Structure 1
Amino acid sequence: MLDVKKFSESDLYGLLGVEISATEAEIRKGYRKKALQCHPDKNPDNPKAAELFQELSKALEILIDASARSAYDRLLNAKKAAQLRTQQLDSKRQKLKNDLEERERRAKEEAGGPRASYKVNKTPEELFQEEFERLREEGSKLIEEEQELMRQQLREEKQMHSRAESGWDASKHRIKIKWPAGKDDPFNGGYSQEALNKFLSKYGEINVLVMSPKKNGSALVEFKTQEAAEMAVSYEKGRLDNPCCLEWIGDAPKNKNSRTGGSNTITDRDYESLVLRQLRQAEERRRLIEQMMREDAEEESFGK
C-alpha cells in the first residue's frame, strides 16, 4: 500500500514531468507519457517499473482531484516557505527554532485525544493526509478509465508490432463463410454465431466473427494469425448435414517462406504438423457436431 508520507515529501509535478501551473489535460498527457514507458506489461522483469507505475497513477489521482490538489499545493507552498526561512537563519537561531518545534510537537502529542482536535489548527500535512485517505477510500473511477485507455493503447501497439514482424494484416485477409439456407429459414441452415465460433475457434484466436444481418447463409470471420486463417479455409466444412464453404475476400495471403511456388499458402514444411493437428481437431469437431445435433434434436422434441 502506498504511504501518504512518501507523496507528501515528493514533487508530484516533477514526477509527471509537468509544471505546477499545468492544466488537467497537461497533467493527463504527462502521466500517459511517463506511465507508458514504465507500464508493467512493457517491463515484466523489472519490479521497480510496477512500483513507479503505481506512484505515477497515485500522483495523477491527487493532481486531477481539485480538493486533493489544493491541499497538496498548500503543503508544497508551506514547505517552500519553511525552507526559505530556514536558509535565512544562522546556526544559533536554527537550534532555537528546532527546540521550539520539538516542544510544540510534544505539547501537541500530550494534548492528544478527541478534545484537542478543535484547539489546534490543522497543519498542511494533516490536511493533505485527510485528502489522501479520502481518495484511498473512495477509489477513483477516472484513474480506472485512464488505465483502461492505456491498456487499450498497449494492446494496439502490440498488435501493430506483431503485424510488422509477421507481415500479416488480418483486416486485409478476411474470410467469407457461405452455407445453404432458405431465405425464410428461422434456423439459418443450422448455423448461428455460437456454432460458427465453435467450429472456427479451434484453429486459433478470432478477431471478429459477424453473421450477415441481411441474408441467411452468410458470415464473415477475421483470424488473428495467418496460420489459423489458412487452416480454417483449407479444412473447415462446418456441419456434416449442411456443409459450409470458406473463401478469401480478395486474394489469398502470400507466404514469403513458401517453397512450393503454388497458390496454396500452406507450405510443405508446415504440412505434416498441420495434418497432425487436424487429426486432433477432427475429433473435437466430431464431438461438437454430435453436441449440436443433440441440441437440435432436443429443440425439435421440445417444439413438438
Structure 2
Amino acid sequence: MTSSKIHDIDLYELLGISITSTTKEIKKAYRQKALKCHPDKLPDNPKAAELFHELTRALEILTDEAARAAYDAVHKAKTEAKQRRRSLSSRYKKLREDLEERERRAQEEEARLSHANFHCRTDEDKLEAEVERLRKEGSRQVKEEQEAVRQQLLHEARVKEAAQTLEAEGSRLRVTWRAARDDPSNGGYDYTTLHTIFSKHGEVTALILSAKKKGSALVEYSTMQAAEERRPVPAPAPAVSAGGGDFEELVLRRMRQAAEKQGLERSAEPLS
C-alpha cells in the first residue's frame, strides 16, 4: 500500500473495526486478519501477500498517535463529503461534484506551490509526511505484532507436525500442574523447562503445551517402554505448587515408584 493510495482506503473498514477503537482492539483485529491471510498459510494465493502488507500498514498508521491523527483528519473530511453528496438531490449532485473537483484541484495547486511551508500543507500532505516518517523510523508496535503472528504460526506448525508424527498413545504422557487461567508465565513452566526435566530420563520426541488450558502439556518419548518407565503411579497426586523444584521432584519420585512397581511385577511372574 503506497502513501498515495492510503487516502482512498478505509483502514478501519479494512481491519473490521470502528474509528473509536482502542490500540488494544486494533492490535487484536490485526492479528485475527493477519493469521487468516498470511502468505505462509496461503502460498498459492497471489493476493495474500498484498493483503497482508495492507493490514500491516494499517496497523502501523493506526497505532501511531501522530499518524492516526493525520489519517483521521483525511478520513473525517472524506466521510463528511460522502455524506453531503448523498444528501444532495439528483438535480444538484452533478453540479456539486464538479464544484468539489475544481476546489480539489485548486487546493492541490496551492499546496504544491506552498509545500515548503509546513503550516500551509493539506491534511493529505501531513498524512504522507507521517507515513514517510514511519517508514524511516520503523514501528516497534508493528514489529511486536508481526513477531506475535510469526510465533503463533510456528506454534500451529509444531502442533500440526507433532500430530502427524505421534504414533502409539502408550508413548505419551499427559502432564498437569497448577497454573492460574490468567497466569502469563503458565505456572512457571515453559517449553524449555519441561523439555529439560523430561529429557533427563529418555529421548523426548515431542512436547506440546496446551494452547487452550493452562498447566497442561503432552510429552512423547521415542519408545513406549520409555514412557511406561516414566509414567506416574496412578494414585492421588499431592498438590503441586508453581515454581521452584517441587514439580520436578514429584515427577521424578513418581517415575521411581513406577519403575519399582514394574520391577516387582516382573519378579512375581511364575517361573517357566
Q: TM-score, normalised by structure 1?
A: 0.54
Do the aligned residues in 2 keep the contact of 1:38 with 1:52 (CA within 8 Å)? yes
Counterparts of residues 1-304 of structure 1 (less than 5 Å): 2-87=1-86, 88=88, 89-109=92-112, 111-112=113-114, 114=116, 117=117, 121-168=120-167, 172=173, 210=196, 221-224=203-206, 229=222, 248-250=226-228
Cα distance in 1, alignment partners of residues 21 and 99 from structure 2: 39
Q: Would you say the 8 A contact 1:78–1:124 is kept in 2? A: no
Distance apart, 1:251 and its partner CA: 5.2
Unaligned runs of 5+ in 1: 174-207, 213-217, 234-246, 253-304
| TM-superposed deviation, 1:137 | 0.6
Between the aligned partners of 2:205 and 2:109, the Cα distance in structure 1 is 69
- Counterpart residue type for residue 16 of structure 1: L
Unaligned runs of 5+ in 2: 175-193, 208-220, 231-272
Across the aligned residues of Structure 1 and Structure 2, the Cα RMSD in angstroms comes to 3.7
AA in 1 matched with 2:71: Y
**CA offsets per residue over residues 39-64 of structure 1, 9 Å max, x none?**
11111122211111111111111111
How many angstroms apart in 1 are the aligned matches of 2:196 and 2:151?
22
Q: Is the 8 A contact 1:40 1:53 kept in 2?
A: yes
Amino acid at match of 2:204: E
With over 3 angstroms needed to count, the CA separation of the structure-2 counterparts of 1:47 and 1:127, relative to structure 1, is same
Partners of 1:8 and 1:211 lie apart in 2 by 55
Letter of the structure 1 residue corresponding to residue 26 of structure 2: I
Answer whether contact 2:17 2:26 (CA < 8 A) is retained.
yes
Q: 1:220 to 1:136 in 2, by over 3 A?
A: farther
Pick closer, same or farther for the CA change 1:250–1:133 going to 2, 3 Å.
same
Q: Distance in 1 between matches of 2:110 and 2:6?
A: 26
Q: TM (normalized to structure 2)? A: 0.60
Give distance in 2, aligned partners of 1:95 and 1:29.
41
Cα offsets for 1:177-230 (capped at 9, x unmatched): xxxxxxxxxxxxxxxxxxxxxxxxxxxxxxx97499xxxxx66542359xx946
The 8 Å contact of residues 62 and 68 in structure 1, kept in 2 or not, is answered as yes
8 Å Cα contact 2:61/2:131 also seen in 1: yes
Structure-2 separation of matches of 1:166 and 1:219: 21
1:16 touches 1:56 (CA, 8 Å); kept in 2?
Answer: yes
Deviation, 1:37, is: 0.5
Give the distance between the partners of 2:96 and 2:152, measured in 1 at CA: 56
Q: How many residues align?
A: 197
Give, as a single letter, the amino acid of the residue that structure 2 aligns with 1:74.
A
Aligned mates of 2:13, 2:103 — CA distance in 1: 32
Q: Where in structure 1 do 4 or more consecutive aligned residues deviate above 6 Å?
A: none
SS in 2 for 1:250: helix
Instruction: Give distance in 2, aligned partners of 1:126 and 1:48.
Output: 29
